[in-house]
Amino acid sequence: METQQKTEIYSPGLEGVIACKTRICQIDGQAGKLYYAGYPIEDLVHHSTFEEVSFLLWQQRLPRQDELEQLDKMFKETRSLPAEVLQFLELMPHTSHPMDALRTVASLLACFDTNLEKSPEANLQRAIFLTARFPTIVANFHRLRQNQKPIQPHPDLGLAANFLYMLLGKEPTADQARVMDAALILHADHEMNASTFAALVTASTLSDIYSAVASGIGALKGPLHGGANEAVLKMLLEIADPANVESYVEQALVKKTKIMGFGHRIYKSYDPRARIFKEYARRLSGRTKFSRFFKINEKLEEVMQAKKGQHGIFPNVDLYSGIVYHQLGIPADLFTPIFAIARVAGWTAHILEYWRDNRLFRPNALYEGPPPRPYVPIEQRR
């Protein structure tokens, strides 16, 4: 009788491995298309709001008018932080990275959840509360580290506009609010990215939603994921002038240094989110002193397209998103927390979906160590 040999398949970074099924998000990397529950991202950015998109991710359908009004009401009623949490933020070292503050406070919020129910309905409510409170956490921490008093949420502003209001201390213009809202929509979900997978691994143990979201924040902090748009801005400051782009790219390619804002594991054509961010960056650049950043990026895109376009390396979402935030007056180290403000809707949507048919994540490892061997007493070792 022949013995069947088990075939081990090793995929570095789990590239190409299907980890779960989902109805939430679909990416066509070859065509450069992104869909939330079947709706093209372009349609959602131009016609929808972040509140509506959050509902779509959680329910996989667009809300009725009364449902959207109810969700908006819940967001507005729950976005203030408990007094004890605000006191904790005040005590945190103000030199902390905002992502560390966000991760810590997101975890702390679990201690103030007195609802012992673990039903899908209770967890959806927690998802709504977390999404409502993330902008408040980020805005309050930023003002505290600037020795400024936190601003209470505005009762009449939507999530995106209220975030800018609480962060910068004045109501944004309609155009600024719309750009911020579009940015949140563009970052709300992206299928099985590293932070979503990290959140699902934690959720698959049947841990709580706060722990799963904290795992997502930890993964998002890395410069190869959420921190990339902050790295793009640092790169632009280093390049300084469009005339320096060509030599910068040449040197980076020779040294095999990663050029931030280009290339994506999934997209083998232009990232659709990058196209949209580019237009917002173009629009804002004509009105601010930071227009040179846009010109540097355009030159970068031109040079990289000529050198790497044939290899499927195109601009990704990070190339222009940092410029947009910078032109809105947002500090660079808040770029990744803004990513989290948007992505918490996607994380929680995937967590809620995965829990409907949960299975503990437990992949194998391909062992490459020594074969079985006897233990050697310490006096006999050489």
246 in any annotated domain: yes
pLDDT at 6: 52
380 in any annotated domain: no
112 in any annotated domain: yes
| Separation between Cα atoms, residue 296 and residue 235, nearest integer Å | 10
- Take residue 314 and report the two structure tokens written for it: 């195109």
347 in any annotated domain: yes
Of 78, 134, 74, nearest in space to 104 by CA: 134
Cut 0.85: pTM above it: yes
Per-residue pLDDT tens digits for 130-168: 999 999 999 999 999 999 999 999 999 999 999 999 999
Q: What is the mean pLDDT of the chain?
A: 93
Of 31, 343, 109, 326, nearest in space to 218 by CA: 343
Whether residue 1 has pLDDT greater than 50: no
Whether residue 292 has pLDDT greater than 80: yes
Residue at a domain's end among 308, 327, 346? 327
Per-residue pLDDT tens digits for 309-341: 788 888 999 899 988 999 999 999 999 999 999
Dihedrals phi, psi of 365, to nearest 5 degrees: -120, 145
308 in any annotated domain: yes
Q: Are residues 41 and 186 located together in one domain of the fold?
A: yes
Secondary structure (3-state) at 282: helix
Q: Are residues 197 and 309 located together in one domain of the fold?
A: no
Per-residue pLDDT tens digits for 349-358: 999 999 999 9
Task: Residue 348: give its domain's CATH number.
Answer: 1.10.580.10
Task: Give the least confident one: 21-35, 93-107, 276-290, 334-348.
Answer: 276-290
Which of the following is catalytic: 187, 271, 318, 326? 318
Q: Are residues 165 and 30 located together in one domain of the fold?
A: yes
Whether residue 78 has pLDDT greater than 80: yes
Q: Are residues 152 and 194 located together in one domain of the fold?
A: yes
pLDDT at 287: 63
Task: Name the DSSP letter for residue 171.
Answer: P
Banded model confidence at residue 344, pLDDT cuts 50, 70, 90: very high
pLDDT at 7: 59
Q: Are residues 144 and 105 located together in one domain of the fold?
A: yes
Look at the block and give the residue holding tokens 């994380």: 347
For residue 310, give the amino acid letter.
Answer: Q
Whether residue 233 has pLDDT greater than 50: yes
How confident is the model over 3-12, as a mean pLDDT?
A: 67
pLDDT at 361: 96
Parent domain of 61: 21-222+335-355
Q: Are residues 93 and 181 located together in one domain of the fold?
A: yes
pLDDT at 94: 92
307 in any annotated domain: yes
Q: Are residues 28 and 123 located together in one domain of the fold?
A: yes
| Separation between Cα atoms, residue 49 and residue 280, nearest integer Å | 16
User: Over the range 131-165, which residues count as b (16 or more CB within 10 Å of their CB) and which as e?
Assistant: bbbbbbbbbbbbbbbeeeebbebbeebbbbbbbbb
Dihedrals phi, psi of 36, to nearest 5 degrees: -105, 115
Task: Residue 286: give its domain's CATH number.
Answer: 1.10.230.10
- Take residue 5 and report the two structure tokens written for it: 């040999």
Q: Are residues 256 and 310 located together in one domain of the fold?
A: yes
How confident is the model over 349-369, as a mean pLDDT?
A: 96
365 in any annotated domain: no
Q: Are residues 49 and 197 located together in one domain of the fold?
A: yes
| Separation between Cα atoms, residue 352 and residue 356, nearest integer Å | 7
Q: Are residues 61 and 208 located together in one domain of the fold?
A: yes
Q: Please enumerate in sequence order all residues whose Cβ is within 8 A of that of 272, keeping only pairs 6 or more positions apart, or say none.
A: 32, 33, 34, 41, 42
166 in any annotated domain: yes
252 phi-psi bin (left φ>0, alpha ψ -120 to 50, beta other): alpha
User: Is 175 tagged catalytic?
Assistant: no
Name the domain count of the chain. 2
pLDDT at 4: 46
Which of the following is catalytic: 142, 187, 190, 264? 264
Of the two residues 4 and 48, the one the predictor is more confident about is 48
